[in-house]
Structure 1
Amino acid sequence: MATRIDSHQHFWQPARGDYTWLRADVPVLAPLVRDFMPQDLMPLLEAHDVTQTVLVQAADSQAETDFMLELATAHEFIGGVVGWVDLSRPEAAASLERMARHPKFKGVRPMLQDLPDDDWIVRAPHPDALQALVRLGLRFDALVKPRHLGALLRFLREWPQLPVVIDHAAKPPVGEADGEVFAAWRHRMREIAALPQQVCCKFSGLWTEAPSAMYRDADVVAHAVRPVWEHLLECFGPGRLMWGSDWPVLTLAGDYAGWIAVSEAFIAQLSTGEQAQVWRGTAQRFYDLQPA
């Protein structure tokens, strides 16, 4: 069995009040409006030989980042934390310096997909905050959709020294490989992957991007995801792709074992060394994770 690192998972407690997007009155989200904590994930990690995870923010709140860092202190399997600060404010640099004192704080993720300005990433971040990311050796998770990729490309060209990973492959329309949006996604991802600096991509979060008719059916979603995988592999190669679950958001569409089975169908076609890169090596290197 392959040893794995889950490069993208979440924990939350809705009662904390951080998660404004988690609304019980939205039927599709209602199953997520409960606590998801380490004791819920640990049996899945053990069953699938996942030795470490990267815990990623799910709220635009520094308090949630502190909450995640507390969990990382208490649980060895959490290898790194990707938190949140308001990068548009100059005082973000001081917040980053404080968080970076924790050895498991690895970077930040602004919730770009939820912001009203699709060009926020090239207009709003304060240079002091971005320079602090670079100076402190931190990373940037880009939570984007296809419509954001043009702005992200401009940002990457302006900040070539900042390590960036694209979450969930920028959420292409799974199952619509013949459509215009998918074609535009393919073009932009190829442009981004061709940049000289190290930009990585997460193979994660794609089951929930499929039509709801594909939920709970791993075989059907594997067929729909294949064009996404093949393009990512062509553009980024195994050395810049990392596997992640996006648990517990994943549970809206499938389950942990099912997503591993879907991923295995593609990753197993690589050489042994290339498989190790996607399952664990790329995440370990990008986030500078210490061995569990």
Structure 2
Amino acid sequence: MIIDAHQHFWRISRGDYSWMNDSVAEIRRDILPADLAPLTEAAGVGGTILVQAAPTTDETLFMLGLAEETPLVKGVVGWIDLEGDVDAQLERIAHPALRGIRPMLQDIEETEWVLRPAVLDGLRKLAAAGLRMDALITPRHLPVIDRLAREIPDLPLVIDHCAKPVFDGTDPGGDWRQGMTALAAHGQIACKLSGLANEYGPGWSADTLRPVFEHVVGTFGTGRVMWGSDWPVLELAGDYAGWLAAAQTLAEPLSGPERTALFGGAAARFYGLGA
């Protein structure tokens, strides 16, 4: 079964999607399970991980409600205020479908915010509760996540969108490569092959993204790299079938078991979908 390790839903009237301005007008509409169903059915995708798109526990509850009525959704990555009362928030959103939490680090000006003592305490409580952290980061955060992994070695971490490498007409820079290699040395860290079409922009293809693919697979191994669509954000740069086809083209040199891991097994293990 193919698992899409990263997708979103939203209902605009909920009112907490502060990032949804005119720059994303093409996807500024209600997007719900019925919109994704024909795409996943056509692609042979049998399960997804639904990821937060707003920094509120109310949105997390909204997603958990969708998961209850949507068999396709196998797990939810929500949000809590890691500097607040973490125990009370985790109690409020406790649910069998909850698999992790995603602080929106890319939107926080303070690069080392996640290393604040209060935040580290909150993340230790996540780890103790059997939850994971999705790291929504850019290359400036790579050394920070390296330090985070050393601080809390029992917290499973997954890097969203390959840490958003910069495509400027050349191969992604040495700082990104070195940073990702350092993160791959931590067995608790995985990486999502997602979001790259949006980062590259017009003209993206399997060939243009191959250097990133080869580096993350070469460092993390297919057992810790998981394909995700980042749909519907993907629609700003491409389409569901096209991105899956590009990822499958990139994966052609891999063995059968390696492809199985990339397109499902790694996500199932990381998020504990068999538990």
Aligning the two structures, in what range does the TM-score lie when normalised by the shorter sequence?
over 0.9
Q: Give the distance between the partners of 1:280 and 1:206, measured in 2 at CA.
A: 18
Is 1:70 matched up with 2:65? yes
What's the secondary structure of 2:40's corresponding residue?
helix
Alignment match of 2:161 (pick from 142, 145, 168): 168
What's the secondary structure of 2:205's corresponding residue?
helix
Alignment match of 1:184 (pick from 172, 175, 179): 175
Q: Give the distance between the partners of 1:156 and 1:176, measured in 2 at CA.
A: 32
**8 Å CA contact 1:175, 1:224 repeated in 2:** no
- Structure 2: where are the runs of 5+ without partners? none
Structure 1 stretch displaced more, 251-260 or 124-133: 124-133
- Aligned position for 1:81: 76
Q: How is 1:1-292 mapped onto 2 (pairs within 5 angstroms)?
A: 3-23=1-21, 26=22, 28-89=23-84, 91-100=85-94, 102-123=95-116, 125-174=118-167, 176-178=169-171, 182-195=173-186, 197-211=187-201, 213-214=202-203, 220-290=204-274
Q: Give the distance between the partners of 1:35 and 1:16, measured in 2 at CA.
A: 10
Q: Give the distance between the partners of 1:178 and 1:290, measured in 2 at CA.
A: 38
Q: Give the distance between the partners of 2:267 and 2:171, measured in 1 at CA.
A: 31
What's the secondary structure of 1:29's corresponding residue?
helix
Could you tell me the percent identity over the aligned residues?
Answer: 49
Q: Give the distance between the partners of 2:155 and 2:195, measured in 1 at CA.
A: 23
Q: Give the distance between the partners of 2:120 and 2:236, measured in 1 at CA.
A: 38
Q: Give the distance between the partners of 2:260 and 2:167, measured in 1 at CA.
A: 25
What amino acid maps onto 1:7 in structure 2?
A
Q: Give the distance between the partners of 1:258 and 1:147, measured in 2 at CA.
A: 29
For the aligned residues, what is the CA RMSD?
A: 1.4
Q: Give the distance between the partners of 2:88 and 2:124, measured in 1 at CA.
A: 12
What's the secondary structure of 1:117's corresponding residue?
coil
Count residues with an aligned counterpart: 275
Q: Give the distance between the partners of 1:76 and 1:238, measured in 2 at CA.
A: 26
TM-score normalised over the length of structure 1: 0.91
Q: Give the distance between the partners of 1:81 and 1:17, measured in 2 at CA.
A: 20
- Structure 1: where are the runs of 5+ without partners? 215-219
Q: What is the CA-CA distance between 1:127 and the residue it aligns to? A: 4.2
**8 Å CA contact 1:238, 1:275 repeated in 2:** yes
What's the secondary structure of 1:41's corresponding residue?
helix
Moved segments of 4+, more than 6 Å: none
Q: What is the CA-CA distance between 1:198 and the residue it aligns to? A: 1.9
Q: Give the distance between the partners of 1:192 and 1:83, measured in 2 at CA.
A: 23
Q: What is the CA-CA distance between 1:153 and the residue it aligns to? A: 1.0
Residues 57, 124 of structure 1: alpha-carbon distance in 2 compared, 3 angstrom cutoff: farther
Q: Give the distance between the partners of 1:250 and 1:124, measured in 2 at CA.
A: 35
TM-score normalised over the length of structure 2: 0.96
Q: Give the distance between the partners of 1:176 and 1:160, measured in 2 at CA.
A: 36
